Chain A
C-alpha cells in the first residue's frame, strides 16, 4: 500500500516537476518563527540568521565562518581606531534604489535609535561616517581586532525606503504602533521578502539583480514554522517540506531509514558545561552549613572526575556529541585547539579521595539547576550527571525548569550547581565566551558568570586579548586565559552539542557550526 502510494506520488511529482521546469521552490521549517524582519529590533540568533538572507552587512561569513567581503569590497585601517571601507558599486536594494554610503550612515543612525536591540552587540563601535559616495569610515572606541566579525551584526537598510515608510527608527516596544519594517523588508541580499504572515508562512523570492553570483539555485523559498517536534518530523516525512532544522535526536534514525530523507549532523559552536557557586560563604541549596564546598578546588576536581563525558555521549546523546576539555569550542576564532583534551581522567575512586581530603568523606547534598528546553537533551544530561555524582556521594536536589525560569535564576545568582552553554556568537570568537562566563561579574562584564568566580590574573588578560591585533599573539593570550579556567576548574566542561538538520535527498543545506541556515548556499535538484 505504502509503496503504491509512493509510486503515485513520485509519478505526480515528476509530472508537476516537468511542468514547472526551472522554478525551484524550497520549503523549510524551524520550531519558531523569526520574531521580526526588522534587523535591529532583536538579537535573537534565529531571527538574525533568517533576516540575513534579506539584508546584508559590509562583510559576511562564508561556509567556513571566515570573513569575506559583502557590501564593502575592501577595507584598510587608517589608524588603530579607524577603519576605511570601500563600498561595492552597482548594488541595488530590492525595490531598485541604488545603494551608497548614505545608506550606511543612515543605518548607523537608525541602529542608535531607542528601540534598537541589535546595538547591544555593537558597543565597541563609536561612529560610522560617510567619506564620499562609496567610502565610509568606522571609528572604534579602542583598537578592535574583531571589528569585521562584529560588523556582521550591522546590516544595511535603505535610507530612502525607511524615510518614505516612517521607519527611520528601529521597532520599539515603547511605541504604540507597529513599525513598517517589522513585517516589510527592503534589503540588498540574495532573497526578497514576498509575503509574511507572522507565525504562519513567510515567502521569499530569489533576487534576480543580486550583486553576487548565486551559489544557490532556488527561485522561491517558503518558510513555515512548526513548534511541535513530532509534527515537524511527521511533516517532513509526509513530503510537505524539503528541509527542517531542530530535528530531535530521537527522530534521526527514523528519518534516515525513510530512504527519501537524510539527516545532516555536525558539532555546534556551543559548548555545554556546569558552573558552581564559588562566591557565597554558604551554598543556597546544600546541607553543608557555614562553608561553601565549591570554593575548594579539590571538590571541583572531584566533580570533574566523577562525570563520565564519554558515557553521556554514548547513552544520552546517542553517540553524537564532542567531549570537551575547555569551555570554548575548538572551532571558534582564536580558540587554543591544543587545550581541548580532558585535563583529568574519569575516575570515581580519585573523586572520592579528593572529596575525603577536602573534608567530605561522605559527600554532601547540593541543588542542581537545569533548563529543560534550552539545550539538546539538557534535562537528560542532568539526570545522567545526577546518577554519576551519586556514585561518589554527592547527592543532588534537582531543580529543572523551562529556560525562561532558569534564566531568572542565572541572572539573580539563585544557583548552586548549574548547567549553562555558550557558543561564542555572534562574533564566532572565543573571547566572548571568556568575557561573559569567566570575567568578574559587574554591570558591564561577566553577565553569565552566575557562579561569580573572580580571578584578577584572568581579568587582567581580557583587555589585552581585546586589543591584540596580531592573530597568533592573540591566540596565545586566549590560551593563557583558557589554561586558567582549566587548572582552576572554573567550569566542568561536557561537550559540544550536535546541530541536527534533515532534508530531502538531493537538497544540499551546507550546514555550518553556528547553526544558521544560509539560503544563498542551498541547492536542490
Chain B
C-alpha cells in the first residue's frame, strides 16, 4: 500500500514538472507581455529595459529553473495584469469556480443519473426515445451557444435572471459565496446549466447503456424468476452495479468541470479561474498562466491518485500482489 502510494506520488511530481516545462515552452508562442505593460508607443530602448527587468531576456532554461526554484518555495511572482501576487489572484478566483463546478456536478449527477435509469428501464417508451434525441442535442451544442441562448431567453426577453456575474456575494473569511443571497443563487442558475449540460447528457447515456447491460445479466433474470418486485431489482440490484464506472467517470469529469469552465465563465462573466486564464492569455500575463497550469496539473494528479486509491479499496484484485 505504502509503496503503491509513493510510486503514485513520484509519478505525480514528474507529471507536474513535465507540465510546467511544456507550459514554459508555450510562452514563446503567446506573445509579448512587454507591449501590454508599456503600451504600443514605448521606444525600443524602453522595451529592452522592461524585458531585462522582468528577466524575459534570459534563456528559457534558466528562466524555467528559476521559476521552479521559486515555485517550490510557494512564490509565484506578481501578476503583470493585476500587479498583485499571483497566489492572491488565484485564491480570489477559486471560490467562484468551485461553487459553479459543484452546482454543475450536482445538476449533472442529480438529473443525468435518474434520466439514464429511466431510459434504461423503459427503453422503448416515447419518453426515453425523446431523452435520447435531447441528449444528442445536448452533447453536440457548444456551450457558448447554450449560454447565449439562455441569456437571450431568460435575461433579455423574460428578464428573470441576471445575464452576467455572481450577484451579491457574502464574504466568509477567505471564501466568497453566492449561496447566501437571492441574487447570488439566481446568478448560479444559467451558468450551472450551461456547464452541466454536456456532463448531464454524458451521465445519462452512460447510465442508460450500463443499465441495459446489467438488466441482461443472469442474476437479474434469477431475481425476476424469484418474484422480487421490479423496484427492488432496478434500484437495489441493477443500479448499484452500474455505479462503479459512473463514479470513476464522475471523478474525472469533476476535474474537467473545474479546469475547463473557461467558455462558460467567459460567456457569463463569471469571475472564476476560467475567465482569469482567458484574460491572462490575452494580456500575456505569464506568471498567472504558469501558476494556473501548475494548479490544474495538481488537481488532475490528485484526482487520479484518489481514483487509484478508490480502486484499491473497491477492487480486491488490485490488492493481491
- Indicate the size class of the contact surface on chain B: 35 or more
Residues of A within 8 A of B80 (CB): 173
B163–A408 contact, CB under 8 A? no
Could you tell me the distance between the alpha carbons of A230 and B46 in the complex, rounded to whole angstroms? 37
B141-164 vs A, Cβ < 8 Å mask (1 yes, 0 no): 000000010011001111100111
- CB contact list, B129-151 vs A, under 8 A: 148, 151
Could you tell me the distance between the alpha carbons of A173 and B284 in the complex, rounded to whole angstroms? 14
B38–A179 contact, CB under 8 A? no
Contacts A171-B83, A200-B271: A227 and B278 contacting too (C-beta < 8 A)?
Answer: yes
Q: A226 is contacted by which of B32, B159, B164, B166 (Cβ under 8 Å)?
A: B164
> How far apart are B155's CB and chain A's nearest CB, in angstroms?
4
B82–A120 contact, CB under 8 A? no
Could you tell me the distance between the alpha carbons of A175 and B89 in the complex, rounded to whole angstroms? 15
Residues of B within 8 A of A404 (CB): 30-33, 35-36, 282-284
Contacts A228-B266, A405-B31: A182 and B83 contacting too (C-beta < 8 A)?
Answer: yes
A171-186 vs B, Cβ < 8 Å mask (1 yes, 0 no): 1011111110011000
> How far apart are B290's CB and chain A's nearest CB, in angstroms?
15
Residues of B within 8 A of A227 (CB): 266, 269, 275, 278-279
B31–A43 contact, CB under 8 A? no
- CB contact list, B260-301 vs A, under 8 A: 266-269, 271, 275-276, 278-279, 282-284
- Indicate the size class of the contact surface on chain A: 35 or more
> How far apart are A184's CB and chain B's nearest CB, in angstroms?
12
- A455 within 8 A of partner (CB): no
B35–A411 contact, CB under 8 A? yes
- A525 within 8 A of partner (CB): no
Residues of A within 8 A of B32 (CB): 404, 407-408, 411
- A345 within 8 A of partner (CB): no
Could you tell me the distance between the alpha carbons of A177 and B78 in the complex, rounded to whole angstroms? 8
- CB contact list, A196-218 vs B, under 8 A: 197-201
B159–A231 contact, CB under 8 A? no
B18-35 vs A, Cβ < 8 Å mask (1 yes, 0 no): 000000000001111101
Could you tell me the distance between the alpha carbons of A42 and B37 in the complex, rounded to whole angstroms? 7
Residues of A within 8 A of B78 (CB): 173-176, 178
Could you tell me the distance between the alpha carbons of A240 and B154 in the complex, rounded to whole angstroms? 13
Q: A239 is contacted by which of B47, B148, B159 (Cβ under 8 Å)?
A: B159
B155–A36 contact, CB under 8 A? no
Could you tell me the distance between the alpha carbons of A407 and B42 in the complex, rounded to whole angstroms? 12
B35–A442 contact, CB under 8 A? no
- CB contact list, A222-274 vs B, under 8 A: 224-228, 230-231, 234-235, 237-240
A407–B31 contact, CB under 8 A? yes
> How far apart are A149's CB and chain B's nearest CB, in angstroms?
14
A234–B156 contact, CB under 8 A? yes
B155–A199 contact, CB under 8 A? no
- A38 within 8 A of partner (CB): yes
**Chain B residue nearest to A226 in the complex (CB):** B269
Residues of B within 8 A of A517 (CB): none
Residues of A within 8 A of B321 (CB): none
A34-45 vs B, Cβ < 8 Å mask (1 yes, 0 no): 011010011111
A234–B155 contact, CB under 8 A? yes
A441-481 vs B, Cβ < 8 Å mask (1 yes, 0 no): 11111011000000000000000000000000000000000
A176–B84 contact, CB under 8 A? no
B250-267 vs A, Cβ < 8 Å mask (1 yes, 0 no): 000000000000000011
> How far apart are B73's CB and chain A's nearest CB, in angstroms?
11
- A2 within 8 A of partner (CB): yes
Could you tell me the distance between the alpha carbons of A35 and B48 in the complex, rounded to whole angstroms? 22
Could you tell me the distance between the alpha carbons of A224 and B165 in the complex, rounded to whole angstroms? 9
Contacts A171-B83, A238-B155: A231 and B35 contacting too (C-beta < 8 A)?
Answer: no
Could you tell me the distance between the alpha carbons of A226 and B148 in the complex, rounded to whole angstroms? 14
Using a CB–CB cutoff of 8 Å, the interface residues on chain A facing chain B are 2, 5, 9, 32, 35-36, 38, 41-45, 117, 120-121, 171, 173-179, 182-183, 197-201, 224-228, 230-231, 234-235, 237-240, 373, 402-405, 407-408, 411, 432, 436, 441-445, 447-448
- 7 nearest CB pairs, A to B: A404-B31, A178-B84, A443-B45, A238-B155, A407-B35, A235-B163, A405-B31
5 example contacts (A-B, Cβ-Cβ < 8 A) are as follows A5-B158, A117-B38, A178-B78, A411-B44, A447-B47
